[in-house]
């Protein structure tokens, strides 16, 4: 038996949509599959946790132990984006100020949940153990180095590191030409 679900098994999970060549580990946890759109050439590794309204484009990798908590606000990962191991992306979070109770065991009227969509745009890459908070856009081509706290949107084609994350440099765009060659190769 493969460590990834077969196409037949993936279809039975009940995703909103499912592309071709999708590899999802049998050890991944999927909650709310009916709200998830999975593109083609996607790989989701062991011990990943995905919950809520999630849209994944094409050629996307979600590395082991990553956590995507989308709720109804939603998380979108565009083509050629990826998250490294132990990344946590939150479109939903409790309020930590002390103004309300916290955690999902408490009725909603006593909590103050923050829900804002998160977007990880084309060619964006998020390094190991980063945390992305509600309302953030990791802009096209930007990268976030390991252990970065991404609490505000990044600039396109930027390299970001730290707690909180800050731009330290521009990111090269050579990969756009490589993508063009790759697409031409795929059409042959």
> What would the pLDDT profile of 23-80 be if each residue is shown by its tens digit?
999 999 999 999 999 999 999 999 999 999 999 999 999 999 999 999 999 999 999 9
Q: Please answer whether residues 147 and 130 qualify as being in contact, where contact means their C-beta atoms are separated by less than 8 angstroms.
A: yes
What is the percent of the chain where pLDDT is above 90? Answer: 97
Chain position carrying tokens 């730290």? 162
User: Would the pLDDT of 5 be above 80?
Assistant: yes
Q: pLDDT tens digit string along 159-174?
A: 999 999 999 999 999 9
The separation between the first and the last C-alpha atoms of the chain, rounded to the nearest angstrom, is 33
Residues 6+ apart with CB under 8 A from 136: 118, 119, 150, 151, 152, 153, 154
| Whole-number Cα distances in Å, 25 to 20, 81, 88, 146, 183 | 15, 19, 18, 24, 27
Residue 186 confidence (pLDDT): 86
Residue 154 near residue 139, CB atoms below 8 Å: yes
Homologous superfamily (CATH) for 7-187 = Hexapeptide repeat proteins (2.160.10.10)
Q: What per-residue confidence (pLDDT) applies to 46?
A: 98
Mean pLDDT of the chain: 97
pLDDT band at 187 (very low <50, low <70, confident <90, very high): confident
- Nearest Cα residue to 5 out of 34, 32, 44, 60: 44
Tokens matching residue 10: 């993936």
Q: Which two tokens mark 112?
A: 């103050």
Band (pLDDT 50/70/90 cuts) for residue 88 is: very high
Long-range contacts: 140-147, Cβ < 8 Å, 24+? 140/78, 141/171, 141/173, 141/175, 142/171, 143/171, 146/84
Does 1 have pLDDT greater than 80? no
Cβ–Cβ < 8 Å for 158, 148: no
């Amino acid at each position: 038996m493969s460590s990834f679900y077969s196409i037949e098994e993936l279809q039975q999970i009940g995703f909103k949509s499912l592309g071709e060549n999708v590899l999802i580990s049998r050890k991944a946890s999927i909650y709310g599959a009916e709200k998830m759109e999975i593109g083609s050439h996607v790989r989701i590794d062991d011990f990943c946790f995905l919950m809520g309204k999630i849209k994944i484009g094409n050629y996307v990798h979600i590395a082991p132990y990553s956590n995507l908590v989308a709720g109804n606000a939603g998380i979108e990962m565009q083509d050629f984006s990826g998250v490294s191991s132990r990344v946590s992306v939150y479109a939903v979070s409790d309020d930590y100020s002390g103004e309300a109770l916290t955690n999902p065991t408490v009725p909603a009227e006593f909590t103050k949940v923050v829900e804002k969509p998160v977007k990880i745009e084309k060619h964006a890459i998020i390094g190991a153990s980063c945390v992305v908070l509600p309302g953030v856009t990791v802009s096209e081509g930007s990268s976030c180095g390991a252990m970065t706290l991404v609490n505000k949107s990044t600039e396109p084609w930027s390299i970001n590191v730290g707690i909180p994350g800050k731009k330290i440099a521009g990111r090269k765009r050579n990969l756009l030409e490589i993508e063009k060659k790759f697409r031409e190769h795929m059409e042959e």
